[in-house]
Amino acid sequence: MSIRNLRTLIAVQDHKTFSAAADAVCVTHAAVSQQMRALEANWGVALFDRSKRTPELTPLGRMLVARAREVVRSYDQLLPSVLGDTGLSGEISLGALPTTLTALVPSAISLLMQDYPQAHVRLFPGLSTQLISQVERGALDIALVTRPQTLSPDLEFALVAEEPVQLLAAIGTKSDDPYELLARSPFIRFNREAVVGHMIETWLQTKGIRVRESMELDGMEAISSMVHANLGVSLAPKPCVEAQNALPLKRISLGADAPLRRLGLVMRRDSLRARVLSEMHRACLRAVERGSAQDPVGKGS
């Protein structure tokens, strides 16, 4: 048995198929299959049900993955725990929301790498609930998420920014009344599976606003492009860091009771890499203070 094989086993559960796991750990599909059979031979148990077209973990296999996560986490933290290294070298696995990938995340990582060039950040996009689950399981070191209403006491949350939800409309839109625009315009909905999408839907219901939904999208780039093409209006958080290539849109306030996205970093409280949280948090706050991804790193910081 090797740590490498355990990492592959964990990747199979996280990514559902051998092929996707192979991409995640940078090996071939055949190598994943070989490593899994080696684990089964070493332990003398069946980890996978291969009667189906896509092999699935057996109940025992899932139990062993949970313990494998603990072993891999302990292995990764072995040297830092002895040397007092707080984790700003080597690989850092960072989960991030798609809405943060065009401005906040690249700015923050750039600032972090400027101070700690020996660190290597691996980025994993996803929705908040998915990323939080991966942090809890130890699959990610840290994640930039929208804080949900409830958060496990095993997790620590560091606030980065509060982003009020605003109405997006095409530049040529004559009205500045968000309620009027929501009532008469096609509505481009933010994905309701996202925490912020659910937040927006709750606000609409609370206000008694019935929209004429035309589409439901994930990323801000896609939503902004549709709005820019005058295909409807949308509700989305005001970004704490503006993207360099942000489309010109009319952005209308919803008032003092607008939904507020609390964007922040989440990490396990028992992680020995606490400095990853503190330094990534510091980099994010610096990026927010800068306010725009247009400012080059190294100037004005």
Q: Is residue 128, in this structure, part of any structural domain at all?
A: no
Of 154 and 83, the structure prediction assigns the larger pLDDT to 154
Q: What value does the mean pLDDT of the chain take?
A: 87
Percent of the chain at pLDDT exceeding 70: 92
* Domain region containing 18: 1-81
Residue 67 has pLDDT above 90, yes or no: no
Residue 78 in this model has a pLDDT that exceeds 70: no
Predicted local confidence at residue 108, as pLDDT: 95
Q: What is the average pLDDT across 91-118?
A: 91
Please check whether residue 300 lies inside any domain of the structure: no
pLDDT: which is higher, 20 or 169:
169
Instruction: Find the mean pLDDT for residues 125-133.
Output: 93
Domain with residue 188: its CATH number is 3.40.190.10
Those residues whose C-beta lies under 8 Å from the C-beta of residue 62, and which sit 6 or more positions away, are 13
Q: Is residue 90 part of a domain?
A: no
Pick 80 or 136 by higher pLDDT. Answer: 136
Task: Tell me what the mean pLDDT of segment 181-210 comes to.
Answer: 93
Residue 102 lies in a domain: no
Q: Which of 261, 277, 296 is the last residue of a domain?
A: 261
pLDDT at 300: 42
**CATH code where residue 10 lies:** 1.10.10.10
Within a domain: residue 244? Answer: yes
Domain boundary among 81, 116, 141: 81
Does a structural domain hold residue 257? Answer: yes
CA distance linking residue 242 with residue 183, whole number of Å: 28
Q: Kindly tell me the burial class for residue 123, based on how many C-beta atoms sit within 10 Å of its own C-beta (0-12, 13-18, 19 or more).
A: middle
Which residues face 267 on adjacent strands? 156
Rounded to 5°, angle at Cα 163 from 136 and 103:
80
What does the angle CA 138 – CA 277 – CA 134 come to, to the nearest 5 degrees?
Answer: 25
Instruction: Report phi then psi at 180, rounded to 5.
Output: -65, -45
> How many domains are there within the chain?
2
What are the tens digits of pLDDT across the range 228-283?
A: 999 999 999 999 998 888 899 999 999 988 999 999 999 998 887 778 888 999 99
Q: Is residue 88 part of a domain?
A: no
